[in-house]
């Protein structure tokens, strides 16, 4: 089974798959998409001598199933929907947009004040941006982050994560400049499942 003994092992293997010298020369900005992803993002930023930042987001769950992710809202209020689940559960868009607003105002703004003193994500126009996380359970968080940075008119965007679902990799490969990873997994469980110790 695909797994890493430690996060350090995962980091080392991921960095081995990243063109460090190129990213350093091109002044890439490294952005973490989660608290768990910040370990990888900070270490990669140090390695390429790049800027480091967070992009905050929150998952929106189905009304009667708090484990079923149906959408993600980012700090710039970009929303990405899992249309298939929303349609199959017959979930009203009013519910999703209401939850997006509530999550943004109650959770994302609190994180922004805690980590950035309320400042918005730095200006990324014409910059090279590397989005980093520990994995991608559904791909919704990654897609919300991509929508956010693309709307900020970045010049190039790439993604780096140690483990990725094959289906998410296929979708990402169509829209980003590069995807750096160690393992792609056909039947993905959850990101934490692939780390023996955290």
Q: Using CB atoms within 10 A of its CB, is residue 119 exposed (0-12), middle (13-18) or buried (19+)?
A: exposed
Pseudo-torsion of CA 176, 159, 138, 188, nearest 10°? 110
How high is the mean pLDDT of the chain? 95
Q: Can you give the pLDDT at residue 41?
A: 98
Structurally, at CATH architecture level, domain 7-55+121-194 sits in 3-Layer(aba) Sandwich (3.40)
Q: What percent of the chain has pLDDT over 70?
A: 99
Cα–Cα distance, 50 to 46 (Å, whole number)? 6
User: pLDDT at residue 1 above 60?
Assistant: no
pTM of the predicted structure, to 2 decimals = 0.95
Query: Which residue in 108, 130, 129 sits closest to 119, CA to CA?
Result: 108
What are the pLDDT digits (tens) for 3-48?
899 999 999 999 999 999 999 999 999 999 999 999 999 999 999 9
Strands 29-32 and 51-54: parallel
Q: Can you give the pLDDT at residue 198?
A: 64
Domain boundaries, the chain: 7-55+121-194, 58-116
Top-tier CATH class for 58-116 = alpha beta
Q: Can you give the pLDDT at residue 107?
A: 96
Contacts of 94 (CB under 8 A, 6+ apart): none
User: pLDDT at residue 186 above 80?
Assistant: yes
Q: Can you give the pLDDT at residue 197?
A: 78
């Amino acid at each position: 089974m695909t797994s890493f003994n430690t996060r350090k092992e995962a980091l080392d293997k991921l960095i081995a798959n990243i063109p460090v010298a190129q990213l350093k020369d091109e002044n890439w900005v490294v952005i973490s998409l989660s608290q768990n992803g910040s370990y990888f993002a900070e270490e990669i930023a140090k390695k390429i001598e790049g800027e480091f930042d967070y992009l905050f987001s929150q998952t929106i769950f189905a009304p009667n199933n708090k484990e079923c992710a149906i959408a993600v809202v980012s700090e710039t209020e970009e929303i990405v929907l899992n249309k298939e689940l929303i349609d199959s559960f017959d979930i009203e868009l009013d519910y999703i947009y209401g939850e997006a607003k509530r999550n943004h105002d109650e959770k994302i703004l609190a994180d922004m004040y805690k980590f950035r003193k309320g400042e918005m994500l730095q200006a990324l126009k014409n910059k090279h941006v590397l989005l980093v996380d520990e994995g991608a359970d559904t791909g919704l968080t990654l897609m919300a982050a991509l929508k956010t940075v693309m709307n900020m008119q970045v010049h190039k965007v790439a993604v780096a994560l140690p483990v990725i679902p094959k289906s998410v990799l296929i979708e990402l490969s169509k829209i980003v400049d590069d995807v750096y990873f160690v393992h792609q997994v056909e039947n993905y469980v959850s990101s934490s499942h692939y780390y023996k110790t955290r």
